[in-house]
Amino acid sequence: MRHRRTLRGAVATLSVGLAASMSGFGIASTAASAPSARPSANANQCVTYAGVESSGSLNSLDPTIQGSSQISIEVDAAYNKLYYAEPPSWTPVAALATGATHNTSGTVWTVDLRHGVHFHDGHEMTSADVVYTFRHLLNPKYGSDEAGTLSMINPAKVVATGRYSVQFTLNQPVGDFPQYLADKDAFIIANNATEHQLKYEGDGTGPFVPVSFQPTAPTHKFVRFSGYWQRGLPKAPCLVLSVIQNPTTQAAAMESGQIDVLQAADYSIVRALKADPKLVLDASGPGTSRTLPMWVDTTPFNNNDVREALKLVIDRQQMVNTVLFGYGTVGDDNPVPPQSSSAWRHNVPAQNIPEAKRLLKQAGYGPSHPLTVTLYTADMLPGAVEIAELYKQMAAEAGIVVNLAVGPSATYWSNVWLKQPFEMSGWNLRPPALALAAAYTGSNSSSNESHWHNAAYDKLLAEAIATTSQSKATALFMKAEKMLSLDGGEITPVFTEQVAVMQKSCGGYTPNAVLADVNWTEISCS
């Protein structure tokens, strides 16, 4: 297995290295005569930006349904949220809001809105727009997948208490409500905006205005919103957004200068791009996780000795090095990366085959009667198949037989995920409160992929969400993380990092670990 990994990495490096060295040679020899291959869009110094997730005809500017990270980053350009929260601290920062106050129990929150914020169509943002936003977002008719996460908001009890103030009466006490107002779908839309308007017009308060948006057009152009509420921003006069998924095309587009910023380079081309003096590479912190959920209520996973053994067989650092080419960090079997200040421990136990064998023996498995499991996977997330293959090899060292069931990626989420007791999955990085609740608790989550129903855990979480003391909340979240790491059914071997690539002539861009979040205001190219 190690041989195959090495070989594969070597081939990728070799082929891209060849391209890079050829390019270096070519630049040296043709620098004087070669005309720039920049497309006409760059003549007026638009920032050309390539995302990595295609959504074809699903493309839309409607923040309610963000079917791909590409849709999300275009929504980021056109709209704003009341609050933004970014990793690693996840501290909510007020944007369209100026502040929020709550009653002592944390059940009634009043949000004050910023004055003088305008939509692209010219009207001023008021409480009417905000009330409409949350009623729209939580109306099941419009199908937002964040309805579950935001279930503490009662849409009927979101009311305007003034031109610039909105009151939320919640179904349960929440200590840090702005965190939920920073939710990935909670972009403020115009009062009475129709679905069609949201999809095609993108009339928000965001820094850029979409230009004749067409879902299937190869590029989507946005121009600077002159009435943007942050004075002097955005810096770029316009953006041209496209998607490049093929690694070779990504490398060619960056080395030929056709694209200014690539959101996340395929790991196989990172080394070659690093060698190009015209480019700057910037890796985000830990982002999307890769997980292997096991159903804790189903044999053999209902025995914690088995679960622990299945966790101990992994050499996590090797997984990061081989599958992610080093661009990742190890995980600790819970959704909070171990480097995070809110992680319950910062060192993940190393691979321990003897201990795994001991635990398996204790659970009644041995050489004559090996533990045999089927792991379902597909190429629905980068590395999902490779991680499963590597896992199979690592588990074999402890005598565990892992049968791989590799299926088509297109139907994985609808046909396999949540339907098999042991499978591959992955989650966008979220703040602890949302991550722990979204993925794992039985009561609120429709995506409880490890069948984790634990009353003590639910109680911890509810208490942590309700408390208004940040330090107390963190302590409670750590307890919950610990339960998952030691008892839970979720193996989280790695978190991936995004490696952004940009031309030296560009600045003001920081890659976000969350592929769906891009801050467009500071980016510019000369």
Question: Does residue 58 bind another protein (CB under 8 A)?
Answer: yes
* C-beta separation of 260 from 313 below 8 A: no
Rounded to 10 deg, the angle between the 316-323 and 2-30 helix axes is 40
Amino acid at 223: V
- β pairing state of 279-293 and 425-427: antiparallel
Stretch that binds another protein, among 29-37, 115-123, 450-458, 468-476 (CB under 8 A): 29-37
Residue choice 39, 99, 162, 366 for contact with another protein (CB under 8 A): 39
Residue choice 78, 96, 253, 324 for contact with another protein (CB under 8 A): 253
Shortest spacing between CB 357 and another protein, in angstroms: 36
Question: Does residue 216 bind another protein (CB under 8 A)?
Answer: yes
Q: Which residues pair with 330 in a beta bridge?
A: 494
Compute the distance between CA of residue 259 and CA of residue 253 in angstroms, rounded to an integer: 6
Any idea how long the chain is? Answer: 526
Question: Does residue 513 bind another protein (CB under 8 A)?
Answer: no
Peptide bond into 88 cis (omega under 30): yes
Which of the residues 394 through 413 are near another protein (CB under 8 A)?
410-411, 413
Residue choice 155, 257, 507, 508 for contact with another protein (CB under 8 A): 257
Residue choice 148, 162, 364, 366 for contact with another protein (CB under 8 A): 148
Decide: residue 524, CB within 10 A, 0-12 exposed, 13-18 middle, 19+ buried: middle
Nearest residue to 495 (alpha-carbon basis) of 447, 432, 426 = 426
Handedness of CA 398, 400, 406, 409 (dihedral sign): negative
Question: Does residue 66 bind another protein (CB under 8 A)?
Answer: yes
Amino acid at 162: G
Considering beta carbons, is residue 28 or 455 the nearer one to another protein? 28
Residue 458: enclosing H or E segment and its boundaries?
helix 455-466
User: Hunting for tokens 């030296």 — which residue is that?
Assistant: 504
Residue choice 414, 455, 471, 526 for contact with another protein (CB under 8 A): 414
Residue 162: enclosing H or E segment and its boundaries?
strand 153-162
Q: Taking CB under 8 A as the rule, which mask of x and - marks residues 443-482 in contact with another protein? A: ---xx-----------------------------------
- For residue 61, give both structure tokens: 């500017």
Compute the distance between CA of residue 36 and CA of residue 257 in angstroms, rounded to an integer: 8
Shortest spacing between CB 493 and another protein, in angstroms: 21
Shortest spacing between CB 194 and another protein, in angstroms: 12
Residue choice 60, 80, 340, 351 for contact with another protein (CB under 8 A): 60
Shortest spacing between CB 327 and another protein, in angstroms: 23
Compute the distance between CA of residue 228 and CA of residue 219 in angstroms, rounded to an integer: 23
Which of the residues 98 through 137 are near another protein (CB under 8 A)?
none
Compute the distance between CA of residue 446 and CA of residue 144 in angstroms, rounded to an integer: 13
Question: Does residue 274 bind another protein (CB under 8 A)?
Answer: no
Question: Does residue 141 bind another protein (CB under 8 A)?
Answer: yes
Shortest spacing between CB 162 and another protein, in angstroms: 32
Considering beta carbons, is residue 40 or 526 the nearer one to another protein? 40
Task: Find all residues with CB under 8 Å of 399, minimum gap 6, and list them.
Answer: 357, 360, 365, 366, 367, 370, 371
Stretch that binds another protein, among 111-119, 215-223, 360-368, 502-510 (CB under 8 A): 215-223
Compute the distance between CA of residue 177 and CA of residue 164 in angstroms, rounded to an integer: 18
Q: Which residues bind another protein (CB under 8 A)?
A: 19, 22-23, 25-27, 30, 34-37, 39-41, 54-58, 60, 65-67, 140-149, 195, 199, 214-219, 221, 240, 242-246, 248-249, 251-253, 255-259, 410-411, 413-415, 417, 438, 446-447
